[in-house]
Amino acid sequence: MSETWTFVCSTAELLPGEMKVAFDAVTGTPIAVFNLDGDLYALEDRCSHEDFELSAGHFDAANGDVECVLHGARFDVRDGRALCAPAYEPVAKFPVKVDKGGVFVRDDR
């Protein structure tokens, strides 16, 4: 498990209802960070149904989910659980921290 945190952006660059993507500095894993009403959540930027970027889809801040544009699978950004078919497996959730005005994530698997 890596202890290295990856800088995503400043807090001012990730407003409520927005999403940013970063690549973990150690593993290279793409991680999508979501601002849901001021709370930050990070998921692997990969649909569990088919290997496709979730960040290419729509982040619905009202529902707290992201939809994969490929086949319409939806995932809860708070915990990564699949909300509808064709996805049944969750996507990996990662820790997020805010430090000195910056947003950081890490692949803690």
Q: For residue range 19-62, what is the model confidence (pLDDT) as tens digits?
A: 999 999 999 999 999 999 999 999 999 999 999 999 999 999 99
This prediction's pTM: 0.95
Is 71 domain-assigned? yes
CATH number of the domain enclosing 73? 2.102.10.10
pLDDT band at 3 (very low <50, low <70, confident <90, very high): confident
The pLDDT value given to residue 1: 63
Q: How many domains does the chain have?
A: 1
Is 75 domain-assigned? yes
Q: What is the mean pLDDT of the chain?
A: 96
Is 1 domain-assigned? no
Q: What share of the chain is helix, strand, coil (3-state, %, to 5)?
A: 5, 40, 55
